[in-house]
Chain A
Amino acid sequence: MSTGDTDSTAVLDAVRGSLDGVVMSTPVSQIVAAGRAHRRRRRLIKSAGGLAAVTALALAVPALDRSSTAPPEKRLSPQAGSAHVTVAFTLASHTDGTIHVTWNKNRYFQEHAGLQRALRHAGFPVLIKEGVFCRGPRDDGSLDPSGVGPGVARVMKGERKGNDTVAFVFTPSAMPAGKQLFIGYLSPSQLAVTHGNPGSVERLVSTGVPLTCTTQAPEPNPR
């Protein structure tokens, strides 16, 4: 064995040994229980897929029937207690005017167009894109280290719920006039470049003006 081989072995042994004391503390019973819950959810989701189709049909019929002179605010106003179920997320408009969305974390990438549509229907102005990042000519482009711009916390609050879901509360009434929430997800290739960090950018951008969009993921740039 050459000196180089010995050196390499020593380096790799050091690397291997560096994490020797790290052990998994989750018991197998917890994994199995989570797996069973996962299966149950999958069955429910399949059922929910059918329900979503029915709900979409139910929503489409009144839309066709509505007079074109009806005020748009009326069409977009949240309906108390209504809930629209899709495969990737649930959206519920509450009587206090807030919109509660629960995402399935594993599928949010695939459903952002549907989410944008549902949020807009519920009265929350939002623009969601993947791999593209937009801002208006006078918008504050600064972002904190977690990829969030000024003012976003007032209109969108999030929390993690369990292992598979995250929940967000959107507050349309807190949205400044002439603004909308922009959510830009990093595309899979951008995630590769940044080693998976961060996943998305949120900022408030102007409505009614042309937005400048780029495929360059913005860097955190605190003021």
Chain B
Amino acid sequence: MAVLRRVRDVTQSEFQDFYQAKRDMCLRSVLASVGDRALAEDLVAEAFTRAWVSWHTVRHHPAPSAWIVRTALNTRVSWWRRRRREVALESHLEVAATENGDAGLDVVLLAVLRRLPPRQREVIVFRVFLDLDTKTTAGVLGIAPGTVTAHLSRAVATLRDQLITVDHLEVGS
């Protein structure tokens, strides 16, 4: 019995370390996909909760942080009532985020990011925000490493163009 308790304590501590280390990057990853700060936090908290429940499985995942992000985004699909509110906010993303006054959130860049095609955005999320390598990203997304590289390259090109345009607009305005 004492042995069982010790094992439980170790896995608890392991989960807590994982949470402390990865929670912010998971939040940023999900935020980049959903564009709503409060929703992103709810989704990530829900995903971590599920990870805690199934920690014996999740801890063996090749990239547990990727599991969190995928779970959070899948959860979003089922949160239909919440999502409806987002639809109404979607076109006013910049205004909504600014009104929230979320310090440290670059609203313009977030909006540019959200305009990327979904696959390119996913690659950015996993490669940049979760800091996964190409091979792991490919494994998580179920695509070839070369495809990851191609998506990343296209995403960078689009982001570069968009950011330059935004900079010019800011200068010109």
Chain A contact residues, CB within 8 Å of chain B:
7-8, 11-12, 14-26, 28, 30-32, 34-35, 38-39, 42, 105-109, 145-148, 158, 160, 163, 166, 185, 188, 191-192, 195-200, 220
Contacts and interface: CB of A to CB of B under 8 A. Distances in A.
A22 B31 contact: yes
Interface in B151-167: 153, 156, 159-160, 163
A44 to B, nearest CB: 14
7 contacts: A19-B110, A19-B129, A31-B45, A146-B88, A196-B73, A196-B76, A199-B79
Contacts of A39: 53
A107 B80 CA distance: 11
Q: Report, as a range, how many residues of chain B touch the other chain.
A: 35 or more
Given A30-B45, A31-B52, 19 more contacts: A8-B160, A12-B156, A15-B113, A19-B28, A19-B32, A21-B102, A22-B28, A23-B27, A24-B27, A32-B12, A34-B52, A105-B81, A109-B78, A146-B84, A160-B81, A191-B77, A197-B87, A198-B87, A199-B77
A53 B145 CA distance: 48
B61 interface: no
Contacts of B27: 22-24
B37 interface: yes
Given A15-B128, A24-B27, A24-B44, A146 B85 contact: yes
B143 to A, nearest CB: 15
B156 A18 contact: no
Interface in B51-93: 52-53, 73, 75-88, 90
B159 A11 contact: yes
A123 to B, nearest CB: 24
Ordered nearest first, which 6 A-B pairs have the shortest CB separation? A21-B104, A199-B80, A35-B52, A18-B106, A18-B109, A146-B84
Given A22-B27, A26-B41, A145 B87 contact: yes
A191 B82 CA distance: 14
Contact of B163 (A8, A11, A31, A109): A11
A15 B77 contact: no
Nearest to A193: B118
